[in-house]
Amino acid sequence: MTREEVLEKVRYYKTLGYKVPQEKYIKTPEQIEGIREAGRVNTLVLDYVAERIRAGISTQEIDDWVTEVTAANNGICAPYKYEGYPKHVCVSINDVVCHGIPSKKRILKEGDIVNIDCTTIVNGYYGDASRMFVIGQTDPENERLIRVAKQCLELGLEAVKPWGFLGDVGYVIEQHASRNGFKVVRDFGGHGCGIEFHEDPFVFHYGKRGTGCLIVPGMTFTIEPMINMKKSGVRISALDGWTAYTKDGLPSAQWEYTIAVFDDHTEILSR
C-alpha cells in the first residue's frame, strides 16, 4: 500500500472509533530510510561496547566509548541533556530498572548484570536499543531473568502485525513473564521513535488482545520490556531524579529494539 492508501484506511478506522496513530508518525519511505541509518549507527555503538565491557571498568568509561564512537560515525547521543539527563547513555546495573547514570565511581564487578540503553541521532533521525550484559559469571536466576526478558521482547515482536493492536504485544509479553514467575514493570514502556526521541503511541508491555492503538504500516516504535525478578514496583532516586530502582532491591532486566512496520512484515532497525 502507498502511504496515501494507508492514511485513508487509518481515517476510516478512526471513524469507527478505533485508536489510531497520529498521521505525522506514519513515516514515509524516505523517513524510514533515515531511521534505518540512525539504527545502524546505534547498533554499531552497542557492538563496540559489547566487545569491551568487562569487570574493572567504570560506567563512565562506557559513556566515554559511546560518546566517541557516536561522534566518529556522524551521530549525536540523544540522551545527553534530554530533559536534563546529564550523560550520553544509560547504564543500569542489577536492581536498577532503567536510567542509570554513568559515574567514575561505579566500577563493574564479577556477577553484575548490566543494561546499556543507547539512542543515536543521525541527520535528525533516531535509533534506540538496549542490551543486557553479564560481567563474568552471575547467579543462575539472574541468567534466567535475562533470558526470559529477551524472550519477552522476541514474542512481542512476533505479535506485531499490520492492522493488529498494540495490546496484542503487551499481552504476550506479560503472559510469558508471568509464566516464568517474573513481573513486568508498568511504570515505563516502549514508544514511537524515529523523527522524535519519544513519539506517540506509548507501547505498554501488558494488556489485552484486540485493544490499544492500531498497528499501521509506516509506524516505527520501540519494544523494550523491563522485567523484574519478583515485584513490579519501582522507585526513583531522590538524589538524582533519574535512576529507577526495583522497590524490593532484586534484579531487573531489559532488552529493546526499534522496529518498523510494513504491509507484510516488520523490520528491526536497531538492536
Q: Is the dihedral of CA 267, 29, 5, 215 positive or negative?
A: positive
Q: What are phi and psi of 222, to 5 degrees?
A: -100, 150
**192 confidence band (pLDDT: 50, 70, 90):** very high
Distance, CA of 260 to CA of 220 (rounded, Å): 4
Q: Give me the DSSP letters along 16-70.
A: TT-----GGGS--HHHHHHHHHHHHHHHHHHHHHHHH--TT-BHHHHHHHHHHHH
**161 confidence band (pLDDT: 50, 70, 90):** very high
Angle of the 59-72 helix axis to the 29-52 helix axis, nearest 10: 140
- Number of domains composing the chain: 1
Condensed to tens digits (0 to 9), the pLDDT of residues 201-234 reads 999 999 999 999 999 999 999 999 999 999 999 9
CATH number for the domain spanning 122: value is 3.90.230.10
In this predicted structure, what is the pLDDT of residue 238?
97
Coil/strand/helix, residue 100: coil
**141 confidence band (pLDDT: 50, 70, 90):** very high
In this predicted structure, what is the pLDDT of residue 16?
98
Condensed to tens digits (0 to 9), the pLDDT of residues 24-61 reads 999 999 999 999 999 999 999 999 999 999 999 999 99
Angle of the 166-179 helix axis to the 140-158 helix axis, nearest 10: 160
Residue 2 CB neighbours (<10 A): 9
263 DSSP 8-state letter? S
**130 confidence band (pLDDT: 50, 70, 90):** very high
CB 87 within 8 A of CB 33: no
Distance, CA of 84 to CA of 234 (rounded, Å): 21
Largest CA distance in the chain: 58
Distance, CA of 149 to CA of 155 (rounded, Å): 10
**63 confidence band (pLDDT: 50, 70, 90):** very high
Arithmetic mean of pLDDT over the chain:
98
For residue 244, give its domain range.
Answer: 3-270
Bridge partners of residue 246, in order along the sequence: 234
User: If we measure between CA atoms, which residue out of 222, 221, 203, 205 comes closest to residue 213?
Assistant: 203
Q: Please state the length of the chain.
A: 271
pLDDT mean over 60-81: 98
Helix (H) or strand (E) holding 202: strand 199-203
Query: Is the bond leading into 201 cis (omega within 30 degrees of zero)?
Result: yes
